[in-house]
Amino acid sequence: MKGKYAVGNFWQKFVEGQDNYEAFSDIYNLYINDLLSYGISLGFSEETCRDAAHDVFFNIFTEKKRLSSVKNPTSYLFRSFRNHLFNIQKRQNRLSSDFMFEKNTFTTEITILDTIINEEENQKLKNLVEELLKELTPRQREAIYLRYMQEMDYEEIALLLNMNANSTRRLVSRGIENLRNKALNGDNESFTVLLFVLLISYNL
């Protein structure tokens, strides 16, 4: 996971004109894969995600003077990227934004699982994690991803998901409780191992 201090340092150097291209490159390299994974998890094609991400970074580079007030680059980038993806979908399907957000399905098979499971664990444990995550609503999966994989606070997640902070906190809490209950109620030893992996990886 990326540290907020390092990200903030790169961002500050960029918006202040210090190491302009190098700082921008550092920001791009830190976030591009996470943004692509996030967009794919939202159900968009890789090509659409790449186009949207490049549009966002292009806008950042050409309009950096207005970015000095941005306090949290992570939240800003994810929000800009998410909004741009749904604007693309809106143009393509001529649907209202409310409809799209309600119909959005968030899957975390790639982004979270690759982080908490190494190659030696093989497919068995990965399949168990996928089964656990299916117990959550798409909204819970997305909120948990943002909270624990992107280290966003509840206010930032609330802004991204168009919710209030208290509702976001409850959303995450209920999702984690569902994961714990499912793991604890498992009938075999693998579920106990899985619970341990989740607790250690997410610091729950």
Note the helical H segments in 42-110.
46-62, 73-93, 97-103
Question: Comparing C-alpha atoms, which of 93, 98, 61 is closest to residue 80?
Answer: 61
Count of all residues that appear for the chain in the document: 204
Helix, strand, or coil (residue 39): helix
**Does residue 122 sit in helix, strand or coil?**
helix
Mean pLDDT (whole number) for 95-102: 46
Domain 113-202 in this protein, CATH class: mainly alpha
The answer to whether the CB of 194 falls within 8 A of the CB of 183 is yes
User: Which helix (H) or strand (E) element contains residue 14?
Assistant: helix 4-15
- Please provide the CATH number assigned to the domain covering 4-103: 1.10.1740
User: How far is C-alpha 62 from the chain's CA centre?
Assistant: 25
Of 84-93, 149-158, 188-197, minimum mean pLDDT range: 188-197
- List the structure tokens of 198: 């989740």
In this prediction, residue 136 carries a pLDDT of 85
SS3 of the chain: helix, strand, coil, percent, to 5 = 75, 0, 25
Q: How far apart are CA 39 and CA 41, in angstroms?
A: 5
The average confidence (pLDDT) of the chain is: 76
Q: Is residue 98 pLDDT above 50, yes or no?
A: no
Q: Where are the beta strands (DSSP E) in the chain?
A: none
Least confident of 78-82, 129-133, 151-155: 129-133
pLDDT band at 201 (very low <50, low <70, confident <90, very high): low
Q: CA gyration radius for the chain?
A: 18
Q: For the residues 121-133, what does the mean pLDDT come to?
A: 63
Confidence of residue 191 (pLDDT cuts 50, 70, 90): low
Give the angle 60-61-62 at the CA atoms, nearest 5°.
95
pLDDT of residue 200: 42
Which of the pair, 191 or 35, is modelled with greater confidence? 35
Same fold: 4-103 with 113-202: no
Confidence of residue 56 (pLDDT cuts 50, 70, 90): very high
Among 40-54, 63-77, 87-101, 128-142, the minimum mean pLDDT is found in 87-101
Task: Report the pLDDT value the prediction gives residue 110, as an integer from 0 to 100.
Answer: 40
SS3 of 163, please?
Answer: coil
**Share of residues in the chain with pLDDT > 90 (%):** 26
Query: Residue 16's CB: how many other CB atoms inside 10 A?
Result: 12
Enumerate the domain spans of the chain: 4-103, 113-202
Question: What pTM was estimated for this model as a whole?
Answer: 0.72
Which residue has better confidence, 108 or 56? Answer: 56
